């Protein structure tokens, strides 16, 4: 017959789990993070400060040329460093595309998540299931399918021409609009699901209280719904913005490689250009941008929590 432990013994057992035992439980996860995240990032950081090899690879000599190349190029005649903004434009274009994709996903995803969260409990799982169905298919296949839909001879232009709305195909494929469309299509569920989780926990009696106080719908949305679901909105925005910033497949296929983005630039350095140090430096700069965004969101979330008295 089992004898229940005294309260003090239970506390001692819990205290024991907070030390070596908890570390052992975390060991598999820590090992995975170290081997597949920290070590590769460490190699990339080291490679970014090495010298470019003649036919690819690196020469183990310290150099900052990769970071200089991001902002400067050497004059062929004077060998002086001259400022150029080519890579800044690529990063700026990527940031704008990621912001547009995040905004569009929020505009579409918030009403969708609200609709799903307000359905009867028996229907919610079905709607969530439909949101996640596209992720059963590989991202490359989904992007190629999108290209077939928006191309000049695709079903979209064919249907519009058949209805007489247009006389000639609309140029959608291989444009910035097609890239943005592909990003929204790829990452929209990342926006819907966190917002849905936040709205599902929302106390809808607060809406009734707002109506009782003669607040209109927009006031209730701004003053009650959005502030209380802000964690889900922030999480969704981060989950869309960060992968959109470094996306490779959508710009390469839907954009036709005409307007480079960060992901394509990094890939070209390791493939065609064989400039591994600069590719590593571009990746480190991208990682730094992502970390800055995360820090900004974390500080704002902390300030909001302090202001609300949590």
76-88, pLDDT tens digit by residue? 777 788 888 889 9
Position 26 in a domain: no
State the Cα–Cα distance between residues 198 and 291, nearest whole angstrom.
Answer: 24
Q: Is residue 112 part of a domain?
A: yes
* Rounded distance between C-alpha atoms, residue 99 and residue 241, angstroms: 7
Q: Which residues have CB under 8 Å from 45's CB, separation 6+?
A: 280, 284
pTM of the model: 0.85
What Cα–Cα distance (Å) separates residue 239 from each residue in 51, 183, 253? Answer: 35, 12, 22
Distance of CA 263 to the CA centre of its chain: 13
Could you tell me the sign of the dihedral formed by the alpha carbons of 132, 246, 101, 291, in that order?
positive
Give the pLDDT band of residue 185 (cuts 50, 70, 90).
very high
The 10s digit of each residue's pLDDT in 240-250 is 999 999 998 99
Does residue 147 form part of some domain? yes
Q: Distance of CA 310 to CAs 58, 172, 190, 304, Å? A: 51, 48, 27, 9
- Does position 115 have pLDDT exceeding 90, yes or no? yes
**Structural domain containing residue 252:** 92-258
pLDDT value of position 10: 46
Strand pairing partners for 72? 83
Residue 295 burial class via C-beta count within 10 angstroms: exposed 0-12, middle 13-18, buried 19 and up = exposed
Identify which of 41, 66, 36 has the alpha carbon closest to the alpha carbon of residue 51. Answer: 66
Whether 110 has a pLDDT exceeding 90, the answer reads yes
Worst-scoring range by mean pLDDT, 20-24, 120-124, 143-147?
20-24
Question: What CATH number corresponds to the domain at position 125?
Answer: 1.10.3720.10
Q: Strand 72-74 and strand 81-83: pairing?
A: antiparallel
Least reliable range by pLDDT among 5-14, 128-137, 205-214, 226-235: 5-14
Domain-embedded: residue 201: yes
pLDDT at 18 over 80: no
On whether residue 250 sits in a domain, the answer given is: yes
**Residue 50 domain-assigned (yes or no):** no
281 is a domain residue: no
Q: Is the per-residue pLDDT at 2 higher than 60? A: no
Quickly state the pLDDT bin for 302 (edges 50, 70, 90): confident
The structure tokens 């820090």 sit at 295
Mean pLDDT of the chain: 87
Look at the chain and report how many structural domains it folds into: 1
């Amino acid at each position: 017959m089992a004898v229940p432990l005294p309260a003090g013994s239970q506390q001692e057992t819990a205290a024991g789990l907070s030390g070596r035992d908890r570390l052992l439980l975390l060991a598999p996860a820590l090992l995975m993070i170290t081997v597949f995240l920290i070590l590769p990032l460490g190699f990339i950081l080291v490679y970014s400060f090495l010298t470019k090899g003649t036919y690819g690879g690196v020469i183990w000599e310290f150099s900052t040329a990769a970071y200089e190349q991001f902002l400067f190029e050497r004059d062929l005649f004077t060998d002086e460093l001259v400022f150029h903004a080519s890579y800044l434009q690529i990063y700026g274009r990527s940031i704008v595309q990621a912001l547009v994709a995040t905004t569009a996903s929020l505009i579409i995803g918030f009403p969708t998540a609200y609709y799903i969260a307000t359905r009867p409990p028996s229907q919610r799982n079905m709607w969530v299931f439909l949101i996640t169905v596209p992720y059963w298919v590989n991202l490359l296949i989904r992007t190629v399918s999108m290209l077939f839909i928006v191309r000049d001879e695709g079903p979209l232009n064919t249907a519009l021409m058949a209805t007489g709305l247009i006389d000639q195909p609309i140029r959608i494929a291989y444009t910035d609009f097609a890239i943005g469309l592909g990003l929204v299509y790829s990452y929209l569920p990342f926006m819907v699901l966190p917002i849905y989780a936040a709205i599902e926990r929302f106390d809808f009696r607060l809406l009734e209280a707002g109506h009782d106080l003669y607040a209109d719908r927009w006031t209730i949305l701004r003053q009650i719904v959005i502030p209380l679901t802000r964690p889900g909105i922030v999480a969704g925005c981060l989950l869309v913005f960060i992968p959109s910033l470094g996306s490779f497949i959508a710009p390469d296929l839907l954009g036709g490689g005409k307007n480079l983005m960060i992901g394509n630039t990094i890939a070209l350095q390791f493939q065609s250009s064989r400039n591994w140090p600069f590719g590593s430096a571009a990746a480190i700069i991208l990682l730094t941008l992502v970390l800055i965004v995360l820090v900004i969101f974390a500080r704002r979330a902390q300030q909001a929590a302090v202001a609300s008295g949590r």
